[in-house]
Amino acid sequence: MEPLSAPDTDAQTGSRLQRLPHSATSETLSKLPHEIVLIVIERAASDEVNARPGWVATLCLICQSVRNVATPILYAFLRITRLSLSTFVTLSELPDTPLRHTRSVLFDAMINPAYTHKPSVFHYFYAPLARALSNIHAYAGSSVVLAALLHFAPRSFSRLKSVFVSDTLPWTDETDHVKLLVKNISRLQIVWDLLGGQFQEVPDLDFSASAPRLEYLIVDALADLPLRGRNLEILERLVLPPEHPSLRRILFRPRCHAQHNVPTIAQAIREYATNVRDERVWIDDAVVPIRSADGTEYVYAQNELKDVGAGDDLWLSGSRAWGP
């Protein structure tokens, strides 16, 4: 994306506004002051960016002043997929990279390097991205990608407040960077594999010590196969941090392939919260698909995009498991 020429005049800008999908005509807009036209464009871009990002991108071609308004909106949230990764790496290497406007980023689970066991130093592909994403507040993606970004530019993520680590606990062996990051965030979302181990035995979950500023914790209790006997006993031995200086809410979300397991898990969590009289524990027992109806496609990862889109509402969802 090359820099454009000097800003157009009010009349020139108005003559190109037929792209706007609002009731106001370009003739009407052309009669308005330039500053008002930019406000209208900003509102339109904000309303349309999720549904029609391509249209918002075309606004950047109108003139420099419109580009200055539309670009921060267009790049505020990035979803980086296996197919788009190289494009964003190229953008990150520009001197005036638009990725400086990014506030939230989602790395798709299908990005191949996220499933390797190489140390992050070998993921040099992420170095320019790490330097460019210097203003993000929210991250969603695997622990491997996060470790790579932190390895190449740890200071770039000083503003990060919300993290969703999409791979199940325990994370990769290379967790030092991630643990340092967790100390400064206020919102953490993790995935607990009910088929893989006990919650209290998973490493790096001493929240009082490792995450003293944590306020909101979401635990996706994942079971991509039906739960039986031994796996259900794990819930009976659930132990949460009894004291924490700032933790306000722990939201459990059963995510099960066998839908009949969802109420079972939810009831076990409610019983636990009642027994220990813990008002911080919340439950979201909505049934969320794990696999497609025919069982051939793993659709759980698609929920990540929905969670990111929910914004602040995500952390306040569910119902209290116990209350006086």
Amino acid at 216: Y
The tokens describing 262, both together, are 């969802």
pLDDT surpasses 60 at 203: no
pLDDT grade for 64, boundaries at 50, 70 and 90: confident
More confident residue, 309 or 57: 57
Residue 1, pLDDT score? 37
Residue 44, pLDDT score? 86
Query: Do 32 and 153 belong together in one domain?
Result: no
What is the spatial distance between Cα 207 and Cα 214, in angstroms, rounded to a whole number? 8
Query: Do 53 and 84 belong together in one domain?
Result: no
Query: Do 147 and 290 belong together in one domain?
Result: yes
Query: Do 69 and 79 belong together in one domain?
Result: no
CATH number at residue 114: 3.80.10
Percentage of residues in the chain having pLDDT higher than 90: 21
Average pLDDT, the chain: 78
The model carries a pTM of 0.81
Residue 62: DSSP 8-state: T
Mean pLDDT of 27-36: 70
What is the spatial distance between Cα 138 and Cα 240, in angstroms, rounded to a whole number? 25
Chosen domain end from 74, 92, 116: 74
Total domains, the chain: 2
Chosen domain end from 74, 106, 135: 74
Query: Do 124 and 167 belong together in one domain?
Result: yes
More confident residue, 63 or 24: 63
Q: Which residues contact 167 (CB under 8 A, 6 or more apart)?
A: 114, 142, 143, 144, 191
Query: Do 274 and 314 belong together in one domain?
Result: yes
Query: Do 291 and 171 belong together in one domain?
Result: yes
Output the CA–CA distances (angstroms, integers) from residue 87 to 79, 99, 104, 319, in the order listed: 12, 12, 17, 41
Query: Do 142 and 267 belong together in one domain?
Result: yes
Query: Do 109 and 186 belong together in one domain?
Result: yes
The tokens describing 55, both together, are 């249209």
**145 and 106 in contact (C-beta within 8 Å)?**
no
- Structural domain that includes position 63: 1-74
Query: Do 29 and 152 belong together in one domain?
Result: no
Helix (H, G, I), strand (E, B) or coil at 140: strand
Query: Do 257 and 217 belong together in one domain?
Result: yes
Residue 29, pLDDT score? 59
Lowest-confidence region among 116-130, 145-159, 213-227:
116-130
Chosen domain end from 26, 47, 74: 74
Query: Do 93 and 121 belong together in one domain?
Result: yes
Give residue-wise pLDDT tens across range 68-121: 999 999 999 999 988 898 899 999 999 999 999 999 999 987 775 544 556 666
Instruction: Return the axis-axis angle of helices 261-276 and 229-236, rounded to nearest 10°.
Output: 20
pLDDT grade for 273, boundaries at 50, 70 and 90: confident
